[in-house]
Amino acid sequence: MIVLGIETSCDETAAAIVAATPQGPRIMSNQLRAQFVEHAPFGGVVPEIAARAHLDHLDTVIDRALAEANITLAEIDGVAAATGPGLIGGLIVGAMMAKGIAWGAGKPFIAVNHLEGHALTARLTDDAVDFPYLLLLVSGGHCQLLVCAGIGLYKRLGTTLDDAAGEAFDKTAKLIGLGYPGGPAIEQASNKGDACRFVLPRPLKGRPGCDFSFSGLKTAVRQLIADGGLDSGDTADLAAAVQLAICDALIDRTTNAVDWFRCHHPDGTALVAAGGVAANEQLRRRLAAVAEGAGLRFVVPPPSLCTDNAAMIAWVGIERLLLGLVDDLDAAPHPRWPLDADAPRQRRAEIIKGCK
Ligand code: KG4
Ligand code: ZN
């Protein structure tokens, strides 16, 4: 089975061809055009610019994916596109392109939840990952701990009460004067820094539960800079302190989730990390230690498949197509589309009070 995947939910225009073979999954091509150049002057993604860039480049990126895989549209079995959550302009561009191709080529269309793409990538890169597994999903827009019990079966254990982990990296990087995207910039600057020179808060650390909060960290960095006395010689130390604080918070909350998971899912197979922040080396190292301590396998995709890509969308297309889960051509994009639709909406004040 071969599926074309299309990803346009944020600032990456991507197309990939993935095959399910008797030997396991195979990425035949994985093409991506990032929009760093377009958004860097603004220090963040500008939705209108992102949508127009997808419109300009998506056809070329798909052509490149088909050429690299050396196949024609006639040879694919389905077309999958990320139809949410994300920026509506980009979602419409990707969904309409996928629907047009599916209609023209007479192939099934699969509307994919971008978060499910991140959630199932571990099964693409490591075909021994069985359900149920515990997932730390950390990206620019999401920061959640979930039990993945099957395709479409997700239970949220915790989420962020304010900023996502990637957002915390991006916003503090902007304050420190590092480039966009902030995560890789902070990680690189951290290499030469002393993480202990600045003391930053770790919101919710040591409290019960699996929720996250990062807005206090951002405020602390802003305050530190406003107090003055810092110069470019302090950048590496501050970046290292931010990275350590974010990783400490993620590890603390994940440890609580691992305890819960071991107790409620003794058949659980692995701790999986996914999303752009899972590309972070310190986080990967420390999560591996948490998993090992709990007797779980630790599975994390290579960094290039942690950040947004279309191979993960094509892979969800395959997993769904194999179960006969296809969508009509009138399927609408959803800017908001939680993986666990039953999870209660988090109310920051209540949760913080409940933790006391
Ligand atoms: O999954 P992703 O590519 O897009 C979303 O779905 O949001 O994640 C992007 C986020 C950005 O906030 C970026 O700063 C962060 O992932 N990121 C990293 C690293 N690489 C990307 N954060 C920390 N360390 C990294 N190496
Ligand atoms: Zn993503």
Atom of ligand 1 nearest to the CA of 307: 3
**Structure confidence at residue 356 as a pLDDT band (50, 70, 90):** very low
* Domains 2-122+304-322 and 130-302+344-355 in one fold: yes
Q: Is the CB of 169 under 6 A from ligand 1?
A: yes
* DSSP states of 251-312: HHHHHHHHHHHHHH-TT--EEEEESGGGG-HHHHHHHHHHHHHTT-EEE---HHHHSS-SHH
Q: Is the CB of 117 under 6 A from ligand 1?
A: no
Atom of ligand 1 nearest to the CA of 166: 12
Higher pLDDT, 351 or 251: 251
- 224 CA to middle of ligand 2, Å? 30
Look at residue 74 in the predicted model and tell me its pLDDT. 97
Amino acid at 234: D
Q: Is the CB of 90 under 6 A from ligand 1?
A: no
The 10 Å Cβ neighbour count of residue 158 is: 23
Architecture of the domain defined by 2-122+304-322:
2-Layer Sandwich (3.30)
Q: Torsion-angle region of residue 198: left (phi > 0), alpha (psi -120 to 50) or beta?
A: beta
Tell me the β-bridge partners of 145. Answer: 136, 158
For residue 355, pLDDT beyond 80 = no
Q: Alpha-carbon distance 238 to 224, whole Å?
A: 10
Instruction: Say if CB 108 and CB 81 are below 8 A apart.
Output: no
Q: Alpha-carbon distance 302 to 124, whole Å?
A: 11
Average pLDDT over residues 308-335: 98
- Does domain 130-302+344-355 fall under CATH 3.20.20.70? My reply is no
**Structure confidence at residue 173 as a pLDDT band (50, 70, 90):** very high
* Tokens coding 158: 């915790």
**Structure confidence at residue 343 as a pLDDT band (50, 70, 90):** confident
* DSSP states of 119-163: HHHHHHH-TT-PSSEEEEEE-SS-EEEEEEEETTEEEEEEEBSS-
**Structure confidence at residue 127 as a pLDDT band (50, 70, 90):** confident
Look at residue 186 in the predicted model and tell me its pLDDT. 97
Average pLDDT over residues 190-196: 95
Q: Is the CB of 11 under 6 A from ligand 1?
A: no
For residue 219, pLDDT beyond 50 = yes
- 169 CA to middle of ligand 1, Å? 8
- 121 CA to middle of ligand 1, Å? 15
pLDDT digits (tens, 9 = 90+) for 63-108: 999 999 999 999 999 999 999 999 999 999 999 999 999 999 999 9
Q: What are the φ/ψ torsions at residue 153 (nearest 5 degrees)? A: -115, 100
* DSSP states of 8-30: -SSSEEEEEEEEEETTEEEEEEE
How far the first Cα of the chain sits from its last, in Å, is 52
- From 307, 336, 337, mutation site for ligand 1 pocket: most ligand atoms within 8 A of C-beta: 307
- From 169, 217, 218, 251, mutation site for ligand 1 pocket: most ligand atoms within 8 A of C-beta: 169
H/E run at residue 322: helix 311-322
- 170 CA to middle of ligand 2, Å? 14
**Structure confidence at residue 346 as a pLDDT band (50, 70, 90):** low
For residue 159, pLDDT beyond 80 = yes
- 198 CA to middle of ligand 2, Å? 30
pLDDT digits (tens, 9 = 90+) for 33-48: 999 899 988 878 899 9
* Tokens coding 312: 């993960």
Q: Is the CB of 25 under 6 A from ligand 1?
A: no
Q: Is the CB of 139 under 6 A from ligand 1?
A: yes
Q: Is the CB of 190 under 6 A from ligand 1?
A: no
Look at residue 233 in the predicted model and tell me its pLDDT. 85
Atom of ligand 1 nearest to the CA of 243: 23
**Structure confidence at residue 288 as a pLDDT band (50, 70, 90):** very high
**Structure confidence at residue 327 as a pLDDT band (50, 70, 90):** very high
Q: Alpha-carbon distance 61 to 159, whole Å?
A: 34
Q: Is the CB of 170 under 6 A from ligand 1?
A: yes
Look at residue 352 in the predicted model and tell me its pLDDT. 46
Q: Is the CB of 85 under 6 A from ligand 1?
A: no
pLDDT digits (tens, 9 = 90+) for 45-61: 899 999 999 999 999 99
The domain ranges of the chain are: 2-122+304-322, 130-302+344-355
* Tokens coding 151: 């395709």
Cα 355 to Cα 202, 208, 210, distances in angstroms: 15, 6, 11
